[in-house]
């Protein structure tokens, strides 16, 4: 391995890695490339490029809503990969496909991953990919294409299972901050901090990134004490909902997180 942009990022940078999630096709059908370019220019470190799904079980209200709008706007896989390919010619920032297992299964795992590579995707996040099945059936294909797959861990995941998921993950391990699809409170609870400490103590092989419910600079900084960085999703999507100009909104949003 070596070419993978995400691996390169984590080789160079161990701290305060900031990732932003966006829903392709939202708020407008062609917003994604504009957002990716803006985020890259603002020094965001990698982007989770969401492909909307009809039945997004792991998503809370905000992202569900953005997905349903995006689907109504007419987003589909062809357009998704077209937009990724287009923006890839302009930016070097790592881009991850975020979606659901059925989207790969329908196209065929090999064919799907091949499209990812061709368009310039560096890795995937698939909340409902079963780790046992991945190990048995799909790991080799992901490796063939040098695409990372980051498994999720949650406060209810046992240490033993965290080890397994760390072993199977490439790129990073996605630390879900709460046992909840809607963790939108303004500060972390003591329980959550205990859980972050537990993760830190486990000294995983992969970098760790906290996601779900990161809504402000304070939470981003706390996350950084225990892990290599954080992903912001719902909070950014919410900001886009009322944006007059998505570029300015993005600038304001990222500056607030990075500089306060």
Partner 1 sequence: MKYEVDLLGFYGKYGGSFVPELLHANIKELENNYKKIISEVAFQKEYYSLLQDYVGRPSPLFYAKRLSERYKTNIYLKREDLNHTGAHKINNTIGQILLAKRMKKNRIIAETGAGQHGVATATVCALMGLSCIIYMGEKDIKRQAPNVARMKMLGAQVRAVSSGSKTLKDATNEAIRDWINNPIDTHYIIGSVVGPHPYPEMVTLFQSVISEEMKKQLMDKIGRSYPDRIIACIGGGSNAAGAYYHYLDNNKVELVSVEAGGLGIHSGKSAASSILGSDGVIHGSLTLLMQDQDGQIEEPYSISAGLDYPGIGPLHAHLIRTGRTKVLYATDLEALTAGFLLAELEGIIPALESAHALAALEKINFRKQEHTVVNLSGRGDKDMQAYMEYKNRKKDGKK
Which of 127, 139, 141, 251 contacts partner 1 by CB under 8 A?
127
CA 237 – CA 232 distance, rounded (Å)? 9
* Rounded Cα–Cα distance for residues 73 and 27 (Å): 9
Nearest to 33 by CA among 102, 99, 120, 112: 120
The window from 19-27, 33-41, 147-155, 197-205 that contacts partner 1 (CB under 8 A) reads: 147-155
Alpha carbons 132 and 120: distance in angstroms, whole number: 27
Q: Is 114 in the site for partner 1 (CB under 8 A)?
A: no
Asked if residue 153 binds partner 1 (CB under 8 A), the reply is: yes
Per CB under 8 A, 109 contacts partner 1: no
Applying CB under 8 A, which part among 3-11, 21-29, 156-164, 242-250 lies near partner 1?
156-164
196/175 Cα distance (integer angstroms): 8
The nearest distance, CB 188 to partner 1, in angstroms, is 17
Q: State yes or no: is 48 an active-site residue.
A: yes
Contacts with partner 1, 40-79, as mask; x by CB under 8 A: -------------xxx-xx-x---x---x--x----xx--
Rounded CA separation 84/74 (Å):
16
Beta strands of the chain (E only): which ranges?
17-23, 46-50, 95-98, 123-125, 148-149, 152-153, 173-176, 208-211, 229-232
CB nearer to partner 1: pick between 67 and 235: 67
| R_g over Cα of the chain | 17
Query: 77-92 b/e with 16+ CB inside 10 Å = b?
Result: eebbbebbeebbeebe
**Should residue 128 be labelled a site residue for partner 1 when binding is judged by CB under 8 A?**
yes
Count of positions on this chain that bind partner 1 (CB under 8 A): 39
130 touches partner 1 by CB under 8 A: yes
Active-site choice (7, 45, 59, 166): 59
In sequence order, which ranges of 17-157 are alpha helices (DSSP H)?
A: 31-41, 61-72, 77-88, 101-107, 109-119, 131-133, 139-144
Cβ 84 to partner 1, closest distance in Å? 15
For the window 180-219, what string marks contact with partner 1 as x by the rule CB under 8 A? xxx-------------------------------------
21: contact with partner 1 by CB under 8 A:
no
Reply yes or no on whether 55 is catalytic: no
Binding site for partner 1 (CB under 8 A): 53-55, 57-58, 60, 64, 68, 71, 76-77, 100-107, 127-130, 132-133, 151-154, 156-158, 161, 165, 176, 179-182
Residue numbers annotated as active site: 48, 59
């Amino acid at each position: 391995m070596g070419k993978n942009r995400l691996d390169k990022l984590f080789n160079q940078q161990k701290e305060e890695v900031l990732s932003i999630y966006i829903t392709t096709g939202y708020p407008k059908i062609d917003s994604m490339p504009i957002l990716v370019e803006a985020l890259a220019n603002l020094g965001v470190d990698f982007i989770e490029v969401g492909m909307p799904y009809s039945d997004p079980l792991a998503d809370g209200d905000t992202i569900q809503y953005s997905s349903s709008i995006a689907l109504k706007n007419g987003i589909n896989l062809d357009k998704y990969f077209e937009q990724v390919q287009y923006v890839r010619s302009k930016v070097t920032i790592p881009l991850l496909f975020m979606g659901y297992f059925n989207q790969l299964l329908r196209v065929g795992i090999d064919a799907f991953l091949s499209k990812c590579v061709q368009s310039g995707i560096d890795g995937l996040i698939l909340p409902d990919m079963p780790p046992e099945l991945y190990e048995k059936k799909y790991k080799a294909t992901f490796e063939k294409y040098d695409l990372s797959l980051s498994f999720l861990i949650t406060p209810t995941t046992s240490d033993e299972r965290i080890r397994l998921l760390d072993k199977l993950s490439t790129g990073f391990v996605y630390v879900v901050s709460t046992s909840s699809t809607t963790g939108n409170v303004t500060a972390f609870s003591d329980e959550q901090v205990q859980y972050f400490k537990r993760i830190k103590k486990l000294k995983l092989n992969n970098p760790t990134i906290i996601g779900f419910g990161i809504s402000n600079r304070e939470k981003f900084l706390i996350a950084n004490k225990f892990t290599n960085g954080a992903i912001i999703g719902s909070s950014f999507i919410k900001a886009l909902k009322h944006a007059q100009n998505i570029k300015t909104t993005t600038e304001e949003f990222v500056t607030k997180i990075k500089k306060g």
